[in-house]
Structure 1
Amino acid sequence: MTINLPTTIPQKSQWQLLESRWSCDSPIGTALSPYSDAELRTELERLGTPFEGQRYIWEARAKSPSRKVQSRKGNVISRYTSRKMGCRMATESRKAEFGAVVRYDCDGTTREFYCQPPQVRMSVELERKRSDGTVTVYQAPTPYTPDILRLTPYGIYVDEWKTEQDLEKLAEEYPRRFFKDDEGTWRCPERERHFAALGITFCLRSGNENGAIFVANLEFLDDFLCDKSAPLTDSAWRAIERITSASCPMTLGLLLTHAYPDKTPWNESLLVETPPDAFLVDDVYKAIADQRIFVDLDYDDLSEPEDVVLCNSRAQLDELQFNRPVPKAVSDEVSFGVDMGTEFVFKGRLEVFEVSFVSSESVHYFEQQSHNSGLMQVSDFERALFNRQILLLSSQPSTDKRLSQIDGLTDYQIVEGKKRFLIVRDLEAGKKVRCNLGPRQIQRIRREVRAAGGSLPAQRRAATPKRRSGGRCQIIPQQLDLIRETTERGNNSTNPSGAASYRTYVELSEAAGVEVVSRKTYYLHRQKFIDVKARQGSRVAYNEEPAIWYLHVEDKIHGGRPFHRVHIDHTKLDVFIKIRGKGGRVFRKRPWLTVVMDAETRMVLAFYLSMHAPSTISCMMAIRAMVRVFRRTPAIIIVDNGKEFHSDAFDNLCDLLRITLQFRPAHKSRFGGVMERLFGTTNTKLIHYLVGNAKALRNVRTVTRSVDPIRADLMSFAELHGLLDEYFFREYNLQVHPAHDHSPIEYMHLRFALTGRRLKRLTPYDSYFYILTCVPPSKGATRRLDKQMGVKVGHVWYWADEFADKMVRPQNLPVLVDMWDVSIVYALLNGKWVRCQSRLLMKYRKLTYVEWGYVMYEVRMRMHGEPDEALENTLYAVLNGHVLPDVASMTEATRQVYGDARLIEDHTATQKEAIIELPVTTPAELGPPEDDSIMRIPLPKAQKGRFKLNYNSLPTSRPV
């Protein structure tokens, strides 16, 4: 890992300088709406865009995105809902492309922008190396898809965003195609020429140009930049202005101490009337977003208000930016790197200056040709060095190089060095000293101490014995080459053992006439050439990689406020439970747990326990449980690459709630480290203490009947749900967490007090939200409306009285299915969701969507070749005389628990106000099913004939 501490301000590219000038005229949040067709035609004529360029822009507006985003090299895919464009946008990198999309969505310059615009074919210069070593350069047409197309009043731009490391690799591999010019701007001439012919400016940009702190501040202010945020009242602004006009510049934390103490719970939408001369925390951030008070968004992190400096005018902000103290690394650079004889130049001048003297307060220098001298304060010299106004001509060693020059001392070296230093001091004083050192060795030590000068630390350092080098290498190069060859031969999936590789090495050594090294020496040098990824795969290699430590403050991987970054993940619990199914059958299975966790506070927001494998239903139920308790949705949800998270239903829900989805790279578990640690903590502190835990099954061959968890007296589904509820909400959330030395719920309250309640993120738990968290049917999310029959889902018709309206015409309607009641679907008619019911299924309304899938699978098999009129009889025959598989029967236990928690029925007409804590479900005794439940039907005998099925092999993910 390379350590690079900043000693100079990053050099701004040509595009950054342009955007800085544009931002002066159009601050953030002041952009106009996207162009209309007529406005865009007029704008393209004004810019003189050629016909081919205009056609490309119109095609981009109609067909973007032109391809799907992909994650192949560990990049983070994001799906972001643009407020400016009013649509969902996908990006392929978290720092580069996603940061650019956030900036373009919030700036005051960009009118329109499109991700993954249409593909173009351009002529690219390629090289072909022949077997004789000659290189042939030729032109070849190559397809290319840009990252972002951007429409601004200043021109049309196409951006290609990459990380700085990727650009450096491209420059090293293709130096003629990719390079950085003298002004610090990355260039790609072939792409610039191609788009210039279209009247479009191509920009090759580095992810560092976004500014991590600036993007984080835009995300922080996003809730206050949108149109739905409450405007700043005159009374609140007068109260803020009275303090800032008298005290600015001041810290944001100091201003927040004067805010009115709002005691309203942060999950309530109530607005408390403040006194006439008072303001709330949200009012301060609204004033920053409206540019009434000013903050250096490129330098100060708004999520840490104690370090943010507020100014009451832009002139005051400019003065603050000019007089900011430089980082400590710059002071260290001047202290250790600038001395007598150091040469430097001023930016824009050719004269070379040399340092003549450095004191604690000033730097003296002279011009080498005219010998004119000058003087500069040390603070001014440091600031000029940081702002690149002064350039040192002597090479500046990196931090890693400086650390490598400092030898680490062992305890023996420290003790022995002190003894030798005292011996030399006594000998210099004329005393006689008895020691175990030879005369020549004493002479050498005294000579080194004298050469160290008058500094006592330098003298003691000179007397310290040096670290032993270990002698010369004991093997010859031919032996090392043979070790490398045999090891690299085994860098494949066969992964031969060390003994087998050594036998191969012995054979090669004897054939080459080279002396064979010992087995121990061979194993020692063999480790340097082993490729773990080639031998055992990328997952094992990833686990052996060193952990990445984030050294910079702007790397806020866990977000900057509550409900900013929330993780959702599933795990199969290491415990067996018993469930009573149809006809009194008892199942012993391991349940699935879905957890929602806030990354910054480490607070568990919700969980969902189920017997079915993770699906879109699990995601919807987890979101539903979170909103029911906290009445709030997060800004970003971080998930893995499971199919349920990539479903259209889950993405549409996040789009409607303006939630950004970020997908962790495949097989990169450290991106979800907070969730993995939570699962481990839950296992060690709760699950592994329960009867029926599956620890014994880790070594299946050693399991006996006495310790087999399946034979234990297992708890029920409701009992496990109650224990998890108790653990998460009354133990884990109330214990001090080492990440912030507070309990998660306490830290949540503290952070909301500092970062604002953000009423825009509140989401009421009502009928509309309940419908949004339902899932669409398979084989398309729309159904054709029949004026006489209604909408048909599967083989069943659903009807609503609104369909009888004479103004309603046959049309395709979006449809959502209630996963806990198969007799109900919801259809979107004229912009409103209507509740549709099936009279055929009213008797079986307690069937879940999972059970209904298996029922319809059997019905389709029996209905093969039968008329549609036989559907009702066939359905009754299947439900009354056919045994559903285990996974279908076990979902009834889930329904019983979450029915009590009011998560699977629309109770909005009678529901009470939500509270902060989810009530613990009382474990229910296993008893006979209800009288009106289809589950009361006794268990029939197995049928013989063509309907005998193996449910373990059924494609349960097939459409219903």
Structure 2
Amino acid sequence: MLNESELAELCRERKLSDFAIATIRRVRESPPSRIVRSGTHNIVTHYASRKMGCVIKAEAARTELAAIYHWDHDKTTYEFYDQPPAIKKIHLRDNGKTTSHLYTPDFFVLADDFIGWVECKAEDWLKNQLDRPSPHYVRDSEGRWRCPSAERYAQSVGLGFAVRSSAESDPITIQNIADLSDYYREDCPIPSKAELARVREFMGSGGWCWLRDLLANEQGLSADTIFKMIADEELHVVMQSFPLMKEPHRVRVYATRALMDSSELWLPAMLAKPDTEIHQVQPVPGEALLWDGGACEVVNVGDTEIFLRMSGGALQNLPLTDFERMVRGGVIVGTRTMVNPRAVAAAEVMRLASAEDIKSAMHRYYCIHPQLCPPNETHTCCKRAVRKWKAMARKGCIEYGNEFVGLIPTVRKRGNRNRKLSGPTLAVMHRFIEDEVMTASAPSLFVCWALVCNACNKDGLTAPSYKTFLAEIKLLKSPEEVKKAREGEKAGYDLELPFISLDRETPKHGTRPFEIGHIDHTVLDLQFVTEGTSTPMGKACLTVMIDAFTRKILAWVITFDPPSKRSCMLVIRDCVRRHGRIPTTIVVDQGAEFKGTYFEQLLAYMGAHKRMRPASHPRFGSIIERFFGLQNTAFIHALCGNNKALQSPRRMSKTHDPRELAVWNLRAFREAFEGFLTEYYHAVEHPALGISPAKAMEIGLLQSGARAHTLTAYDRNFLIATMPTTDKGTSKVQRDGSFKANRVDYFADSLVEYVDQNLPVRYDPFDLSRAFVMGRSGWIEARSLHTHELAGRTEKEVEVISQEINAINARTGIREKERALALGAYLQTVRGREAALRLEMQQARDREMRAVDEGVGLLGTAPAYTGDTLAIEQQSVQSLATAESTFSHIAQETYEDF
């Protein structure tokens, strides 16, 4: 980015006005003015730009993301900002007046040769705009797209406005730039001169070689060294030719730029193959010919001579006899491929012919040519049929140049192709299909047909049959449209055809390992118990990160909590612990846990880009969804306590209740699931790859480079960055220097000076023995009461024990409510006992007062209790016994949970 002096110098060179400079400063200081959102066919990408030092958001991969990749690695582009403040589009009307409206461009760019706003659009969309009565986007005489209404405002400010079409961004070039982005970094090691000399020696005198051969060299050159030389332009490749990482066998590496630029001149001749096509030579004026490899044009054809204009403009005349001789000898060839119209017609007939048609044509052919019939076959027919088929064969020779094609049956063309029903009847059917069939009320098709029949009878029309009505629905509407109209968008998603692109664009699964990774959650179809007491714990949630290119599971986390920001941050931590890195692009769905601040901050800290797939479109995450299905069918459903029986609870017997059969605890399942991945999923050939995921990862890292300079250290700072916070985000320090995080108390002597202060807190769900709070000098580590319990245990043991403690603590609210109910019932009984005691005391005082009045001493005989007093005391004693029993039962359950 530019500093203040560099920005001032750039504005001075461009001779910008004060208003233009103020506009630039306002754009630089303003946040994005609009929130980008994903639709049904676009994916929002959060791009962590190294040049800008922030996250830049793009709504479309082919247009905006391609432009971001170009600007982020272009040396002439200084700054670019997404979703700048809105500007005006000024439209000129036919009456000479102007109208305007606010509009938010995609980017604001500061570059050497351009300062202003940029709008990114797809080329096909721009072409469709030309058909509108008053298009906003037009094409100038040089073929560039422009937006006159936005340019008027930009010119009034003194800046520029440009329209960037998707045709300006070659997808292969963008992919190669993305693959080499790690080697453009300043911390990437620079190859030595000796290594460069070994590369040039490997290329030999030719000055070029295939990238695959260079990567498989025996000179000790690593893939990182070779790709760094390409990034620094010590070696040269045609960036728009083929993907460097995915197709190295098709990429040529040149020693010098001059050799690469001139390769179009000398390389085709070196690799040329003999031309076996037949080209037609037509000696007519304007016809292009090739004379001994050089281009020429026919100017005039006379009776004895022909005049040709050579490529340099000179005229050359040749006798027609010499011209014909050179044509026959192949010295002069035509540039137009010969097309035989009869052969084209024959090919069309053969394309439409079925297997039965070909079999019937063979029978007819052998009948008219019995001498060609194989000895083991017999083909006979009447003489009349033979005469008919011979006539068809002669006609085939005339129309198609082949008598066999003339013998192919054309039964499919027979019959009346016109509609049998009248126009009014069809109109009635179409009206009821739109008004009844294609509605959310979704009446049965039989009911819709009944309404059609009733309407036809009233109008005196012939009612269609039920079969005809169903056929008409299929003719007018696709099954996908019918289901979406009757059941909703989500219901019709299964019938949509998968989006398949055959264009030359970026591969959807990347070109190398650790380029694209998918993160998603699933609830395991298995009942769990605690390890010590076998108390039921319910189902756990599995969070997985999978590499799109190799299909290898990079990281996974199992918790008893629902999907949250904690799961996302912990799976990233597990990936760094296992591999020392995370994928460059993380693909997630529209879940709230993926939109949190902590998750986005962590990805920006790691320099990773976030790509959000459209909501309710699971095919965009088909890789990870397929793995979830595989682990269910191949592993989870083979374990004791799986939930298959609960899928049909009314048919389930008590003896087959998974909650009663559960035996798996978290520790045992972790070990078994790790073995399932290592010994089966990673080791067996994947149907989409042809090799196992582990082998694909090994080969991919060898071809694309280890990229050791991009590894992330698994240290204290990284662990704190991947620790989640509490729902509140802060915790209050108590007088003894303790604080509470996620229902666990933590202590630190240095926290005494922060008493009664709310400090930002981070806790580790995988290790409840520690937590961190933010003090004045940084993060302060505190210890919990579980420190001695977790001491001396392995990392996996600590993780499993911490997960069980978390799950038990999560039930605190339920247990507290149960305790409160029991305590309230008990105290209510005590209140009744207190009332009885107060009544007894009052009665004793009354007796004493009566005794004094009557002259009776305290040692006299007391009157008996009344009936009401006895009932109250008996009810109090009974309620007290019931409350004591309930309280004792709840206390026993609480003790067992602990």
Shared fold, TM over 0.5: yes
1:779 Cα deviation from its structure 2 partner: 4.9
Superposed displacement of residue 98, structure 1: 0.9
Structure 1 match to 2:203: 244
Matches within 5 A, 1:724-735: 724-735=673-684
Shift of 1:712: 2.1
**Contact 2:586-2:609 within 8 A present in 1 as well:** yes
Q: Superposed, which structure 2 residues align to 1:141-220 within 5 Å?
A: 141-173=100-132, 176-181=135-140, 183-220=142-179
Contact 1:122 1:142 in 2 (8 A): yes
Query: Structure 1 residues 600 and 511, CA, compared in 2 at 3 Å: closer, same or farther?
Result: same
**Following the alignment from structure 1 to structure 2, what is the Cα–Cα distance between the partners of residues 148 and 418?**
66
1:837 alignment counterpart: 782
CA positional deviation for 1:293: 0.7
Query: Would you say 1:511 and 2:450 are equivalent positions?
Result: no
The whole-number CA distance in structure 2 between the counterparts of 1:244 and 1:609 is 51
Q: Contact conserved, 1:633 with 1:761, CA < 8 A, in 2?
A: no
Residue 743 of structure 1 is matched in structure 2 by: 692
Contact 1:60 1:117 (C-alpha < 8 Å) held by counterparts: yes
Corresponding position: 1:257 with 2:206: no
* Superposition pairs of residues 376-391 of structure 1, within 5 angstroms: none
| 1:542 corresponds to | 493
Find the counterpart in structure 1 of residue 891 from structure 2: none
Structure 1 CA distance, aligned partners of 2:820 and 2:732?
Answer: 37
Q: Counterpart of 2:720 in structure 1: which amino acid?
A: I
CA distance in 2 between partners of 1:293 and 1:426 (Å) = 69
**Corresponding residue for residue 629 of structure 1:** 578
Alpha-carbon shift at residue 519 of structure 1 (Å): 0.6
How is 1:764-843 mapped onto 2 (pairs within 5 angstroms)?
A: 764-779=713-728, 815-819=761-765, 820-821=767-768, 824-827=771-774, 833-837=778-782, 842-843=784-785
- CA–CA distance in 2 between the matches of 1:780 and 1:940? 25
Q: Which amino acid is 1:409 matched to?
A: A
Q: Which moved more, 1:169-178 or 1:93-102?
A: 169-178
Specify the alignment match of 1:131 in structure 2: none
**Would the aligned equivalents of 1:125 and 1:139 in 2 still touch at CA under 8 Å?**
yes
1:364 is displaced (CA, Å) by 8.1
- What's the secondary structure of 2:473's corresponding residue? helix
Distance 2:523 2:463 in 1: 52
Aligned counterpart, 2:298: 366
**Structure 2 SS opposite 1:74:** coil
- Matches of 2:118 and 2:596, distance apart in 1: 29
**Aligned twin of 2:664:** 715
Q: Which moved more, 1:603-612 or 1:528-537?
A: 528-537
Q: Which residue of 1 aligns with 2:547?
A: 598
1:318 offset after TM fit, Å? Answer: 1.0
Distance 1:201 1:288 in 2: 34
Match in the other structure for 1:958: none
- CA deviation after TM superposition for structure 1 residue 440, in Å: 7.3
Moved more, 638-647 or 470-479: 470-479
In structure 2, distance between residues paired with 1:220 and 1:375: 46
Residue 842 of structure 2 is matched in structure 1 by none
SS of residue paired to 1:645: helix
* Higher mean C-alpha deviation, range 563-572 or range 770-779: 770-779
Task: Quote the offset at 1:616 in angstroms.
Answer: 0.9
Alpha-carbon distance, 1:700 to partner: 3.2
3-state SS of paired residue (2:774): strand
Mark the CA change 1:793 to 1:724 in structure 2 (over 3 Å): closer, same or farther.
closer
Instruction: Give the unaligned 5+ runs of structure 1.
Output: 1-33, 128-135, 261-277, 344-351, 377-389, 848-894, 905-920, 949-960
Contact preservation (8 Å) 2:116, 2:154: no
Residue 475 of structure 1 pairs with residue 417 of structure 2: no
User: Which residue, out of 71, 80, 90, partners 2:57?
Assistant: 90
Please, which of 356, 362, 371 is the counterpart of residue 412 of structure 1? Answer: 356
SS of residue matched to 1:614: coil
Q: Amino acid of the residue matched to residue 419 of structure 1?
A: H
Query: Structure 1: how far apart are the matches of 2:452 and 2:295?
Result: 63
Is the CA contact 2:527–2:539 (under 8 Å) kept in the aligned structure 1?
yes
Partner of 2:434: 488
**Aligned AA (2:121):** K
2:286 corresponds in structure 1 to 353
SS of the residue 1:706 aligns to: helix
- Deviations along 1:251-289, one digit per CA (max 9) or x if unpaired, are 0111122255xxxxxxxxxxxxxxxxx432211111000
Mapping 1:547-626, distance limit 5 Å? 547-552=498-503, 554-579=505-530, 586-626=535-575
> 2: distance between equivalents of 1:585 and 1:126?
79
Are the aligned partners of 2:43 and 2:61 in contact in 1 as well (CA < 8 Å)?
yes
Matched, 1:280 2:238: no
Equivalent residue for 1:915?
none
Question: As a proportion of its length, which structure holds more helix?
Answer: 2
CA shift at 1:555, angstroms?
3.2
Query: Any conservation in 2 of the 1:125–1:137 contact (CA below 8 Å)?
Result: yes
SS of 1:176's partner is coil
- 1:79-126 Cα deviation digits (max 9, x unpaired): 111111111111111221111111110112101111111111323469
Q: Which structure 2 residues correspond to residues 686-697 of structure 1 after superposition, within 5 A?
A: 686-697=635-646
C-alpha separation in 2, matches of 1:417 and 1:799: 92
1:901 aligns with 2:796: yes
Cα RMSD between the aligned structures?
A: 4.7
Question: Max radius of gyration: which structure?
Answer: 2
CA contact (8 A) 1:565 1:637 kept: yes
Deviation at 1:638, TM superposition (A): 1.0
Larger RCO (alpha carbons 8 Å, 6+ apart):
1
Cα shift at 1:623: 1.4
Task: Provide the rounded CA distance (Å) in 2 between the counterparts of 1:528 and 1:460.
Answer: 35
C-alpha displacement of 1:412? 1.1
> Does structure 2 conserve the Cα–Cα contact (< 8 Å) formed by 1:718 and 1:897?
no
Task: Report the equivalent of 1:307.
Answer: 250
Q: Does 1:642 align with 2:588?
A: no
| Displacement of 1:38 | 2.4
Name the CA distance, whole Å, in 2 between partners of 1:786 and 1:195.
59
Deviation for aligned residue 1:521: 0.6
SS at match of 2:48: strand
What is the letter of the counterpart of residue 526 of structure 2?
A: V
The residue type equivalent to 1:230 in the other structure is P
Deviation for aligned residue 1:728? 1.1
Distance 2:744 2:751 in 1: 16
CA distance in 2, matches of 1:365, 1:402: 33
Unaligned runs of 5+ in 2: 312-333, 374-378, 826-898
Instruction: Provide the residue aligned with 2:833 in structure 1.
Output: none
Greater shift, 566-575 or 316-325, is seen at: 316-325
Gap change, CA 1:589 and 1:789, over 3 Å in 2: closer
In 2, distance between residues paired with 1:176 and 1:940?
Answer: 66
Shift of 1:778: 4.0
Whether contact under 8 Å (1:640, 1:665) holds in the other structure is: yes
Say if 2:528 and 2:664, in contact at 8 Å, map to a contact too. Answer: yes
Task: Give the % identical residues.
Answer: 25
Q: Distance in 2 between matches of 1:812 and 1:44?
A: 47
Does 2:15 correspond to 1:48? yes
Secondary structure of 2:595's partner? coil
The number of residues matched between the two structures is 778
Residues 427 and 433, structure 1, Cα contact 8 Å, conserved in 2: no
TM-score (ref. length: structure 1) = 0.72
CA contact (8 A) 2:300 2:308 kept: no
CA contact (8 A) 1:354 1:368 kept: no
Partners of 1:463 and 1:409 lie apart in 2 by 11
Partners of 2:398 and 2:292 in 1: how far apart? 26
Partner amino acid for 2:41?
G
* Deviations 1:188-237 (CA, angstroms, capped at 9, x unpaired): 22122222322332222222321111111011111110111111122222
Distance 1:898 1:165 in 2: 61
Find the residue that maps to 1:99 and give its secondary structure. helix
